[in-house]
Amino acid sequence: MEYSKAISFLEEVKKTGSKPGLTAISQLLKELDSPQEKVAFVHVAGTNAKGSVSAYIASILACAGYVTGRFSSPAVFQYEEMIQIISKQPAGKRNEDTVSKTDASAEIDITSIEREEFASCIEVIKGACERMTAKGKDCPTIFEVETAMAFLYFYRKKCDIAVIEVGMGGRLDATNIIDSPKCAVLTAISMDHTEYLGHTLKEIAWHKAGIIKKGIPVVSYKQEEEAEKVIEETAKEMEASLITADFSKVTIKNMDMGETLFDYGDWKNLKIKLLGKNQIYNAVTAIHAAGALNKNGISLKTEDIYEGLKNAVWEGRFQCICKSPLIMIDGAHNEGAARALADNIRLYLKDKTLYYIMGIFKDKDYEAVLRLTAGYASEIYCITPPNIRALPSKELADAAAKQGKKAVDAITVRNALSMIKEKTKEDKNYAVLAFGSLSILKEVKEEVYRLYLQPQT
């Protein structure tokens, strides 16, 4: 199958819509000879920071010499990045064609699924879907097909272990077909997807805690009391040991745009490159996950953890994509993420005249996001994300104006950046922060390259 035909098949599958539950994914994987039963997994659920915590864990495993798979969604810059292989680079080798090119000195290779393998996996899955429908069974959803593709690819690549992120919720998510992960990890839980998961933190935590399996170690970010209680009760019910990160043991030594240096209890002088205090807490959660894995058959040394944290890469999360002018991108699109973003603005951008480029989905609590972040902006340039769920830029601009800020209905990223560039011709002390839906970040990155980084001819 050609890559273009594989994409066409996936576009058809999207028309199936979303249907929570494990019946279809179970049937699909049986048709594929259950590849998920032939790979070890770390299973990660939560509202915010799934990607960052998974990046740390995968990097630690790779630095320990394990061929590590990683499945996360949605993709930000290219579709294939949802499914990756992370591995340790041979001594003296630096592959600048990998995602780790963001740091040429990185010790790990991060490579997305090759288009040939992508098409090959989809060809096999398409056949399985056709057999299912011929038997009168429901066609799998797009996320179920993507999940099956990840399992199949990791098996083909002989991954030692794979870090799998829940798509939404946990209990009824397609990834929860994993029977016996080496460790279950719960990241920060807050209000999001309320139309599917419930309107209280307790209900949402119940869905997230559904990844806890009998006798399997559980590691949790320090949660709000309501969510923490649900996790504790579920772990007890499933006879699973539970470790909760203790952020009171964190001592921050230095934070700048280059790296963060901190201690965590007996762990001294830990270094991370991902920016923000929230990333310290995510790293701490990953340290505990590494400890749980070490007790469950995945051997990890102290130096693997230090190296893994230092080399972790996760694009699009309070990331600097241009230094002059300073341009940051972030995926904050709910209340919890907006709170972390506000902390980072105060820490890294407090002395800058700050211009926002903001685009968000209409089913998100964008008023809460604005309430937490708008006060730090000089002006807010609102755009419409490229998605049917997008909140129109005019509506976002109206909501931003209610926060007492000048809001511009820029409609597109190109318009927003061009207007900001024109306005700041005489200003040497400004910064641009683009955030909201992850779906806008690819265009932001491309337009920033066109306007500021592309060699002039």
Domains, the chain, ranges and CATH?
3-311 (3.40.1190.10), 319-452 (3.90.190.20)
Examine the pLDDT at 93 and tell me if it is beyond 70: no
CA distances from 410 to 58, 351, 380, 419 (A): 38, 25, 9, 8
Query: How high is the pLDDT of residue 17?
Result: 83
Sheet containing strand 250-255, edge to edge, reads 250-255, 260-264, 267-272
Instruction: Tell me the sheet residues that pair with 382.
Output: 358, 409
Instruction: Tell me the sheet residues that pair with 194.
Output: none
Examine the pLDDT at 55 and tell me if it is beyond 80: yes
Examine the pLDDT at 100 and tell me if it is beyond 60: no
Structure tokens at 367: 């008023």
pLDDT digits (tens, 9 = 90+) for 226-275: 999 999 999 999 999 999 999 999 999 999 999 999 999 999 999 999 99
Please say whether the beta carbons of 398 and 405 come within 8 A: no
pLDDT digits (tens, 9 = 90+) for 269-293: 999 999 999 999 999 999 999 999 9
Please say whether the beta carbons of 328 and 350 come within 8 A: no
Confidence tier at 76 by pLDDT (50, 70, 90):
confident
Element (H, E) at 341: helix 335-348
Instruction: Tell me the sheet residues that pair with 244.
Output: 220
Please say whether the beta carbons of 68 and 163 come within 8 A: yes
Query: How high is the pLDDT of residue 320?
Result: 94
In three-state secondary structure terms, 253 is: strand
Give 119's contacts (C-beta < 8 A, 6+ positions apart): 1, 2, 3, 5, 6
Structure tokens at 45: 């659920």
Backbone torsions φ then ψ of 454, nearest 5 degrees: -70, 130
In three-state secondary structure terms, 133 is: helix
- DSSP string of 5-56, one letter each residue: HHHHHHHHHHTT----SSHHHHHHHHHTT-GGGGSEEEEEE-SB-HHHHHHH
Please say whether the beta carbons of 197 and 204 come within 8 A: yes
CA distances from 313 to 53, 83, 148, 361 (A): 11, 15, 25, 26
Please say whether the beta carbons of 85 and 68 come within 8 A: yes
The 10 Å Cβ neighbour count of residue 193 is 15
Residues in the chain: 457
pLDDT digits (tens, 9 = 90+) for 337-395: 999 999 999 999 999 999 999 999 998 999 999 999 999 999 999 999 998 999 999 99
Burial of 191 (0-12, 13-18, 19+ CB in 10 A): middle
Examine the pLDDT at 58 and tell me if it is beyond 60: yes
Confidence tier at 99 by pLDDT (50, 70, 90):
very low
Structure tokens at 399: 């909501």
Structure tokens at 348: 């890294």
Please say whether the beta carbons of 365 and 442 come within 8 A: no
Query: How high is the pLDDT of residue 190?
Result: 86
pLDDT digits (tens, 9 = 90+) for 179-225: 999 999 999 998 777 777 888 999 999 999 999 999 999 999 999 99
Q: Model's pTM, two decimal places? A: 0.91
Helix ranges restricted to H, 270-326: 277-294, 302-311
Examine the pLDDT at 105 and tell me if it is beyond 50: no
CA distance 289 to 283: 10
